[in-house]
Amino acid sequence: MKSKDSAKNHRRGYLYVVLAALMWGLSGSSAKFLFNSGITPFQLVQLRLTISTVLLFLYLLIRFSSLLKISRSDIFYFILFGTVGMAGVQFTYLFTISKIKVAAAILLQYLAPSFIALHSVVFMREKLSRSTLIALIGATLGCYLVVGAYNLEILSMNIVGIISGILSAITFAWYAIHGEYGMRRYNPWTVLFYALFFGAVVWNILHPPLEAFMYAYSPVQWMWILYIAIMGTLIPFGLYLEGINLIRSTRASITATLEPITAGIISYIFLNEIMEIPQITGGVIVIASIILLQLKQEDQDDKAPSVIRAQSYKD
């Protein structure tokens, strides 16, 4: 009976993560549509963070008010985590989408596991294994192809977007690494809420407060804005968290690589974004490198199950 229940939970866990990846993939293409319609990345970050924060606050207040409590000593941590982590990830991710193709932007952010591996080697003094080295080389080569660096004309046109994409991977890696402290002390929903909350507060200080809400958006624009805030943030985060509870976080991370594939297909159909064969090849190499890194991490966790690792939360 236990094996049947376990198999059922695993199937449900994979389903949750697949649905989350599909929603995130559509979210990237939705953001590109909004940028093409005149909304700026600065405005969309403000809209997304503010709406998501308010909705999650109301949900937790009504259903799980205890999750809103944090220690005073951790306030500075959450301010830094929400500012550098959440706000930084959100802006660099959306800004990259506004400059280059959606699938390429997402694949650049998927270099985050490579930066996490480099952090472990440089700062944690972990040994650089052969599989990690192969994965890092593969991710770098794949990134080179994905952004079209083999074409100097494309490189010169998209240099700002490429730099932003690399920064999105770095900030996402920082978010994952420093999220470990919060995950050890609080429920994942508490960490997510305060990351969103302080990210929204800081963004409404750096950008004119609620400026993005002052425009008269069309019904279609509002539909996609709300989709990104709800179906592209809150619900997939929830599904992903539930998935991690049912299957290992490593397997969830691997399954989530469906996101750039989904984004590429949707962007091709609705935005007419066509990736060349070398770019598609590079995308496959990046995804394969991510899977190799994650499988190595899973093997390390099997050998040292007591180690608590940071949970990776999507932008």
Tell me if 189 is assigned to some domain: yes
- Domain assignment present for residue 200? The answer is yes
Average pLDDT for 156-179: 83
Residue 133's domain comprises 2-303
Q: Is the pLDDT of residue 49 over 70?
A: yes
What pLDDT does residue 140 have? 77
Question: Is it the case that residue 226 has pLDDT exceeding 90?
Answer: yes
34 token code pair? 């909004």
HSE of 147, CA atoms in CB hemisphere, 13 A: 27
Contact between 74 and 185 under an 8 Å Cβ cutoff? The reply is yes
User: In the prediction, which pLDDT does 307 show?
Assistant: 38
Residue 294 lies in a domain: yes
pLDDT band at residue 313, thresholds of 50, 70 and 90?
Answer: very low
Helix boundaries (H) for 37-148: 41-63, 75-80, 88-99, 102-109, 112-122, 130-146
What average pLDDT does the segment 260-289 reach? 80
Q: Are 77 and 256 in contact (CB under 8 A)?
A: no
Q: What's the confidence (pLDDT) of residue 33?
A: 92
Helix, strand or coil, per DSSP, at residue 133: helix
**Lowest-pLDDT choice from 160-164, 197-201, 232-236, 311-315:** 311-315
Q: Is residue 310 part of a domain?
A: no
Query: pLDDT-derived band of residue 259, with 50, 70 and 90 as boundaries?
Result: confident
Q: How far apart are CA 142 and CA 179, in angstroms?
A: 27
Residue 311 covered by a domain: no
| pLDDT, tens digit, 9 for 90 and up, residues 291-309 | 777 676 666 655 544 333 4
What's the structural domain count of the chain?
A: 1
> Is residue 308 assigned to a domain?
no
Query: Which has the higher per-residue pLDDT, 290 or 192?
Result: 192
Q: What is the mean pLDDT of residues 194-218?
A: 93
CA distance 278 to 58: 46
pLDDT in tens, 7-23: 677 778 778 878 888 88
Instruction: Determine contact, residues 51/104, Cβ cutoff 8 Å.
Output: no
Q: What is the pLDDT of residues 107-124, one digit of tens each?
A: 888 777 778 777 777 777
- Res. 67: pLDDT tops 80: yes
pLDDT of 284 > 80? The answer is yes
pLDDT at 196 over 50: yes
Domain-located, residue 315: no
Residue type for 8, please? K
Q: What number is the average pLDDT over the span 200-208?
A: 91
Q: DSSP secondary-structure letter at 230?
A: I
What are the structure tokens assigned to 129, written together?
A: 């294994």
What is the pLDDT, as a whole number, of residue 263?
Answer: 75
- Establish if 91 belongs to a structural domain: yes
Q: What percent of the chain stands above pLDDT 70?
A: 83
Distance CA 93, CA 91 (A): 5
**pLDDT score recorded for residue 155:** 52
What whole-number distance in Å separates Cα of residue 249 and Cα of residue 312? 8
Looking at residue 3, what is its pLDDT?
60
Whether the pLDDT of residue 314 is over 60: the answer is: no
pLDDT surpassing 50 at residue 80:
yes
At 149 the pLDDT is 61
pLDDT at 306: 39
State the sign of the Cα–Cα–Cα–Cα dihedral 97, 100, 104, 110. negative
Alpha carbons 274 and 156: distance in angstroms, whole number: 19
pLDDT band at 178 (very low <50, low <70, confident <90, very high): confident
